[in-house]
Chain A
């Protein structure tokens, strides 16, 4: 079974802090994604990566950056956390030959106070 793990289930940070969210997948997938999920807005793509050191902006990249130094690991960085970044963050991965079959992690609920 594909396993996507996220470093924290719950995280509380203060405004202005730098926040790192880590994601690891164990299926050798080429593609990795970061989404945020908010009630009534569904899942919105922040960034994705189709290869090591490669990244593409999604629909809402402002205020976020990403890093992919190894194939299995994809990090989401909030340079200076703000209260409007309080959300559920979901990581996903997918194989290169079926990029639309995305496998999600359990999510990190981030609260910025």
Chain B
């Protein structure tokens, strides 16, 4: 199975809060988990990615938490700002798929209100 389930579909958080977006997968062959950020009128852009050999990765205000046993990973945005308002997609791939085929979640529309 190649599905990646993402929740919530939409999220509204006040400035300074910590939005959390969750993803779950079934296929244990996945070994690379990127997150993409998409602003209106633009294509998605790679934001941050993690491999299952670590449980957490931070880049600036963005953190991925990874739980291998539960087959879940999540994106946290610290000190969220209105400029973080965008649609976020989680994804997964693995060497079994040639690493080219990314399976995307359905997306989360995040709104940060001032």
Contact = CB atoms under 8 A, between A and B. Distances in A.
Interface of A: 4, 31, 33, 40-45, 48, 50, 56, 58, 90, 92, 94, 99-107
Contacts of A100: 32, 34, 49, 93, 99-100, 102
A45 B106 contact: no
Interface stretch (B40-48, B54-62, B68-76): B40-48
Given A40-B9, A45-B101, A102 B46 contact: yes
A92 B101 contact: no
Contacts of A103: 45-46
Contacts of A102: 46, 102
A93 to B, nearest CB: 11
Interface of B: 6, 9, 32, 34, 36, 41-46, 49, 89, 93, 98-102, 104-107
Contacts, number: 56
A92 B43 contact: yes
A31 B100 contact: yes
Nearest to A38: B106
Contacts of B105: 42
B34 to A, nearest CB: 7
B41 A106 contact: yes
B107 A42 contact: yes
Contacts of B46: 101-103
A50 B43 contact: no
B43 A99 contact: no
Contacts of A4: 43
A40 B100 contact: no
A38 to B, nearest CB: 10
A30 to B, nearest CB: 9
B44 A58 contact: no
Contacts of A99: 98-100
A113 to B, nearest CB: 22
Given A50-B98, A106-B43, 18 more contacts: A41-B106, A42-B105, A42-B107, A43-B44, A43-B89, A43-B104, A44-B104, A56-B100, A92-B43, A99-B99, A100-B34, A100-B49, A100-B93, A101-B34, A101-B46, A102-B102, A104-B44, A106-B41
